[in-house]
Amino acid sequence: MGDDMGLLAGARAGDGEVCANAPSPAGPDPNLDALMSLYQKGDFTAATVLIARLSPQLHRFFMMQFASRADADDLLQETWLRIHRVRHTYRAGEPVLPWFYAIARHVRVDHFRKASRAAAREQRLDETPEVAAAIPSVIPGAADDFEALLAPLPASQREVIEMLKVAGMSLEEVARATSSSVGSVKQKAHRAYENLRERLGGARLKKGRMGGLS
Amino acid sequence: MKDRAIDEILKKKAPALRRVDSALLDRVSSAVQSCMQPVRPLPPSWLLAGGLILSCASVALAGAARAGFFGVEKLSEIQRAAIFSSLGIFIVLAALACVSAMIPGSRSRVSPEALLGAGSVALLAVFAILFHDYHTNHFVHAGVVCLVTGLVHAVPAAALCWAVLRRGFAVDSIAAGLAGGTLAGLAGVTLLELHCINFQALHILVWHTAVVPVAGIAGALLARSPRNRADSGSRTRAAGQ
C-alpha cells in the first residue's frame, strides 16, 4: 500500500503536464500496470492519472487517422468510456499499452463503420455525389508531412508503422494490440519499409534530377 | 536507402504529443468518477480455456450418453486414438483462440480463420487415412441427420462457452464469433464420433467434417449482426460490475 501511495504521489506531481512533455508511456512501464490495478480496485486518483498520462498518446493515435480534431476528441472520450466499462478485462502482469491500443483501435474501427454507413445512407437519400464526397471527413487525409509520407501505405501497414515508430511499442506489443502474430507484424513493417524505400528513393532521385537540371 | 535512414525520417516527421483539451479530460474524469466501483479482474487464460474445454467435453459426453456410445465402441484402438487426440488438440487450440479473442491486447497464438481452415483440413486428413469404405448408402439423408445432430449439439456448447466468457470483451467480434463457432463445432464432431456408427468414408469426410466450418461461419455471422454489435456495449457494461 505504501508503494501505491508513493506511485500516485509521484504521478500526481506531473499531473499538470498533459502535453508534449507528458511522460511517454512507450516501452514497458511498471507504473502503468500498478495504476491499472488500483483503477480496478476503484481508486479514482489512479484513473485520473491514467487518463492524464495516456490521453495525449491516444489522441495522437486518432489524429493520425482523422483529420478533424473534433473527431479525435470524440473518439478519445468514447475510448475512455469503453475502457472504463471493460476495465475488468485487464489482468495484472500483462502489458498495459496493447490493452489500451486494442480498445482504441476497436473504437476507431466502430467509428469508421458508422461513418461509412452514414455516408452510404446519405448517398441513397439525396443521390447527390457532392454530399457523399463531403462526408468522409474521417477518411485519413494528408494533413501533415507524416500523413503524406504514410498515405500511400495500406491501412494495416500504416497502423503498424504508427505503433512501432510513433508510439514506440515493441513488436510483441503491436502484435497484441492488433490481435495478430509477431511474424505478421514483422511482415507488415517490412512491406511498409519496402514501400517507403521505393517512395523516398524515388523522391530523392527526382530531387537529384531537378537539382541537376537547375 | 537503409532502414536506419527511413527510421530517422519517420522519427523527424512523427507528430509530437500535443496537449489534450483539459475540459475534455475533466469530462472524461467526471464520467468515470460517476460510476467508479471496484471490479474483479478476469481469471487467468488457462482457467477460462479449461472452462471452455470442460463445457465442450460435457456437451459431447452428455449428448453421446443420451444417444448411445455406439460409434466409439465400434472404432478400433488406433482410430480412437487418432480421432480423439486430433479433436482434443484442436479443441484446446480453439479454446485458447476464443479466450484471446475475448481479452483485449492478449497474445494471439493462432488466428481463428487459420484455426478453422487447419482444423477442417486436419480432420479431413485423419478421416481419409482411417476410413476406407467408399460405399455410399443414403448419403444425403444419413448425412443431413448427422450434420443437424452435430449442429444441434454445437448450440448448447456455444451457449456454455458464452457463459464462461461473458465478462470478456471482443475487440473483433467476428473473429470471436468464428473462434467460438469453431469450438462449438468441434464439440459437435466429438459427439458424432462418439455416437455415429456409419463408417463410410464419404459420409464422415463430408458430413461430419462439415459441422466445424458450418458452426464457425454461423458463429461469425451471428457476431457480425448489427444488433449483436449494438448490444455488446451494454452486455460488457452489465458484466463488468
Whole-number pLDDT of residue B122:
95
State the burial class of residue B226 (Cβ atoms within 10 Å of its Cβ: 0-12, 13-18, 19+).
exposed
Whole-number pLDDT of residue B226:
58
Which residues of chain B have a CB within 8 Å of the CB of A40?
Answer: 38-39, 41
Do A7 and A61 reside in the same domain of the chain? yes
Q: How far apart are CA B139 and CA B145, in angstroms?
A: 10
Nearest to B29 among A48, A91, A180 (CB): A48
Q: What is the pLDDT of residues A119-164, one digit of tens each?
A: 777 665 555 444 433 333 334 443 467 777 887 888 888 889 888 8
| Residue B33 or A211, more confident | B33
Mean pLDDT over residues B165-190, rounded?
94
Mean pLDDT over residues B111-134, rounded?
93
Q: How far apart are CA A117 and CA A140, in angstroms?
A: 17
CA nearest to A145 within chain B: B13
Do B12 and B58 reside in the same domain of the chain? no
- Output helix, strand, coil percentages for chain A, rounded to the nearest 5: 75, 0, 25
Which residues of chain B have a CB within 8 Å of the CB of A102?
Answer: 104-105, 171
CB contact under 8 A, A180 and B3: no
Nearest to B105 among A20, A84, A177 (CB): A177
Which residues of chain B have a CB within 8 Å of the CB of A193?
Answer: 3, 6
Q: Among A12-21, A77-86, A144-153, B150-159, which is the least confidently predicted range?
A: A12-21
Q: Among B15-19, B49-53, B140-144, B198-202, which is the least confidently predicted range?
A: B15-19
Whole-number pLDDT of residue B59:
96
Whole-number pLDDT of residue B102:
93
Average pLDDT in chain B: 89
Q: What is the pLDDT of residues A175-208, one digit of tens each?
A: 999 988 899 999 999 998 888 888 877 666 555 5
Highest mean pLDDT among A18-27, B16-25, B94-103: B94-103
Of A64, A42, A44, A46, the C-alpha closest to A54 is: A46
Question: What is residue B68's three-state secondary structure?
Answer: coil
Do B80 and B134 reside in the same domain of the chain? yes
Whole-number pLDDT of residue A204:
60
Whole-number pLDDT of residue B165:
93
Whole-number pLDDT of residue A117:
76
At A133, which CATH number?
Answer: 1.10.1740.10
| Residue A92 or B58, more confident | B58
pTM of the model: 0.80
- Can you give the residue range of the structural domain that contains A173? 141-214
Structural domain count, chain B:
2
Whole-number pLDDT of residue A205:
55
> Is A68 in the B-facing interface, judged by CB distances under 8 Å?
no
Q: How far apart are CA B150 and CA B134, in angstroms?
A: 22
* B133 beta partners: B200
Q: What percent of chain A has pLDDT over 70?
A: 68
Do A43 and A112 reside in the same domain of the chain? yes
Residue located via cell numbers 498495459: A96
DSSP, res B208? I
* B200 beta partners: B133
Q: What are phi and psi of B200, to 5 degrees?
A: -70, 130
Structural domain count, chain A:
2
- Can you give the residue range of the structural domain that contains B8? 3-34
CB pairs under 8 A between A and B: 178
Residues 6+ apart with CB under 8 A from B125: none
pLDDT-based confidence at B235, cuts 50/70/90? very low
Do A134 and A145 reside in the same domain of the chain? no
Q: What is the pLDDT of residues A108-122, one digit of tens each?
A: 888 888 877 777 776
Distance from CA of A128 to the nearest CA of B (A): 27
Q: Looking at this predicted complex, what is its ipTM?
A: 0.82
Q: How far apart are CA A72 and CA A64, in angstroms?
A: 9
Instruction: Locate all alpha helices (DSSP H) within chain B, ordered by sequence.
Output: 3-13, 22-34, 45-67, 70-74, 77-101, 112-130, 139-164, 173-195, 201-202, 209-224, 226-240
Do A114 and A147 reside in the same domain of the chain? no
Do B219 and B107 reside in the same domain of the chain? yes
Do A52 and A42 reside in the same domain of the chain? yes
Whole-number pLDDT of residue B123:
95
pLDDT-based confidence at B224, cuts 50/70/90? confident
**Which set of grid coordinates corresponds to residue B94?**
480453439
Q: Cβ atoms within 10 A of the Cβ of B5, count?
A: 14
pLDDT-based confidence at A71, cuts 50/70/90? confident
> Is A194 in the B-facing interface, judged by CB distances under 8 Å?
no
**Which set of grid coordinates corresponds to residue B55?**
463445457
| Residue A118 or A44, more confident | A44
Q: State the Rg of chain B over Cα.
A: 23
